[in-house]
Structure 1
Amino acid sequence: MKSLKQSALVLAIAGLPLSGYAELKPLHDADMGQITGQAGVTIELETQVTMDEFTYTDEGTLGISDIFIGGADRIDMFEEFTSGRDAIFGTSSTDLIDNIKIELDVADDGDAIINVFPITARPVDFAVRTGAWELRGNGGESTLLADNFSAEGLILQAQATVDTDTDTLNLTTRFAIDELELDVPFMAVGIRDMRITGAGYDPDNPSLLPLFTLVDMDIYKDANAAGTDSLAIDINTFEADMSIGQVLVGGTSIGSVGLDDLAIRNTSMRVYGH
């Protein structure tokens, strides 16, 4: 039986066209050194997420309703960009988060590296919206904390790295918010036309890279003040300019607010149950 299989294999090879052999070339040692047999994984993504309600329950409950995460479906963000606008932001948009490429690699030292960036040379537009944020007691009590949250903006890049030497997840991203709005009914406060851009960004002389806010943080396990394990979050860098077009109190605008070159660094949090 073994002889029969070998004969069949020889006949199959002999039946290949000679042109097939003409393409076969020997590999030298130098060429072999370039072949690792390994490659990362690339994912091209488009998506939209909706949720009727998210709840967190302790003794009472916090509920967030009508959650939407998707594309902004806008091409008019950051209107101060006039020169070459179509090339920078594109000429169409949808309610999907799209134009995203995700690359996953495991380095030689075991570190996991995830890079997220646009497929084409333009930022990724996104929108996050929710309905009511409500506190609920078991006896029917409730407080409407927030409502009508909406944030629309652009993402230029994001990276997540798990370092096997330190067991630390590092997250970095560059994003910009063109419009953020929010109502806080139990305080009779509203926020309109809030913008978040990179520190030092000049809307009178717009440039793409300075538009984006840099966020760099580490997440890992560490002891809290009592010496027990907790979730550690260190904000290494957050640098931004912020502006609020209108602050509403009782439905009436009391003016605007601006924060120039806001920098948050060397900030540590330890999160744990009690």
Structure 2
Amino acid sequence: MTQSHACHRISTSSTLSVWVLALALPLPAMAEFKPMNDGALSGVTGQAGVTIELETKLSIDRFSWIDEGSLNVNGLRLSGQNDTVLDNMKLTIDIAGDGEVLEHGFSEIARRANSGLLDPNNPDMADALAKYSVAGSFGKQFDSGDLVMHLGATDYGDPTSLEDYLQAVDFELAVDSVTSSGNEGSATLFSDILLQGHIGPTDLVIRNGGSSTRTLTNGNEVSGSELQLDTHFEITNGSLNWDAADVILLFNFAAVGIEGLQIHNRRGDDTLGHFGMASATAKLSRGTSAASAKEGLSVHDVEFRADIDMPVFKVGGTSIGSVQFTDFAITNTTMMVYGH
């Protein structure tokens, strides 16, 4: 059974919440969505964009993928920290004009640094100013017809406080267990997952590449129209039991317990431009594999950058000390996903 409680305040000024909104729509209604051409858009008021202020709390008793057996996510809950309402989120949605500059990433930080509210000499600030200063504005430049969604905060607090900005949206993700089942019985992969932290600027962009295609370095051909995800976040406290599972097919952490987990980017040589937060980017589009000629979903240009701290690392219920990863990076990663 799925339970969700949401309160939305919508104004017509200008990925987390996107999925909540999509799931809330009945399928027949979604089936009626049709693209609008320029002529149709000319008759719509409030063309400067749409802003959605969102408060929500989501719980799912069980989510299952069923094949010959099943993979089950049990007791999933997404909320604010300490099981409160996930709030103070603002989603802006725009359809870009040709060369239009729209809010993206840490562009709000660049705007504040430029106006003297934040120290422009801070290395991260200087990087943001260089990256997000475009044509006298602050953001990222887009092409005509690109759909741009930016998730930030409704209220960032003190405009001179970087800490207020980075901690404006707090969240808590809890999962009772992740299990697999089949004819042989069932097994628990993970259990007692709890992650608390903050959501930084998150962008979801659907690039309007028309029917164009491009070739990746591995030879895969992908559509020029693609979904682009960029997000920053940090985990300030997390715990889980790693009962039986692999990490990127290399490390098996069976019978491992982790407490006090933190995921950030405050250490090492890869911190510039991230303001201490972990980051993840990916692009998704239709693609054709150069190796198998199969058509499917291409997930490419994937990057994940973080420092990971596990101060309590247990094996078989006994602590073996602490584990740290510095400048942990996943790069040059491409996947082609298709059925068989």
Out of 154, 158, 167, the residue aligned to residue 198 of structure 2 is 154
- What amino acid does structure 2 have at the position aligned with 1:162? I
Equivalent positions of 1:241-252 (< 5 A) are 241-252=307-318
Distance, in Å, in 2 between the alignment partners of 1:259 and 1:182 is 17
Equivalent positions of 1:62-211 (< 5 A) are 62-73=71-82, 95-108=84-97, 109-121=144-156, 122=165, 123-138=168-183, 141-165=185-209, 166-186=224-244, 187-198=254-265, 200=267, 210-211=275-276
* TM-score, with length taken from structure 1: 0.73
Q: Does the CA contact (< 8 Å) of 1:181 and 1:194 recur in 2?
A: yes
* TM-score, with length taken from structure 2: 0.59
Out of 68, 79, 82, the residue aligned to residue 59 of structure 1 is 68
Distance, in Å, in 2 between the alignment partners of 1:180 and 1:101 is 25
**CA RMSD between the two structures:** 2.2
| Percent of residue pairs identical | 33
Q: Does the CA contact (< 8 Å) of 1:201 and 1:211 recur in 2?
A: no
Out of 282, 292, 313, the residue aligned to residue 217 of structure 1 is 282
Q: Does the CA contact (< 8 Å) of 1:236 and 1:265 recur in 2?
A: yes
Query: What is the aligned length?
Result: 214
Q: Is there any run of 5+ residues in structure 2 with no aligned partner, and where?
A: 1-44, 98-143, 157-164, 210-223, 245-253
Following superposition, the deviation at residue 96 of structure 1 comes to 1.3
Following superposition, the deviation at residue 264 of structure 1 comes to 2.1
Q: Does the CA contact (< 8 Å) of 1:199 and 1:262 recur in 2?
A: no
Following superposition, the deviation at residue 235 of structure 1 comes to 3.9
Q: Helix, strand or coil for the counterpart of 2:81?
A: coil
Following superposition, the deviation at residue 37 of structure 1 comes to 6.2
- What amino acid does structure 1 have at the position aligned with 2:267? G
Match of 2:31 in 1: none
- What amino acid does structure 2 have at the position aligned with 1:106? I
Q: Does the CA contact (< 8 Å) of 2:89 and 2:152 recur in 1?
A: yes
Q: Does the CA contact (< 8 Å) of 1:233 and 1:269 recur in 2?
A: yes
Q: Does the CA contact (< 8 Å) of 1:194 and 1:245 recur in 2?
A: yes
Q: Does the CA contact (< 8 Å) of 1:201 and 1:210 recur in 2?
A: no
1:180-237 alpha-carbon deviations (Å, 9 max, x no partner): 21112343221111111025379xxxxx962211222111111122111111112443
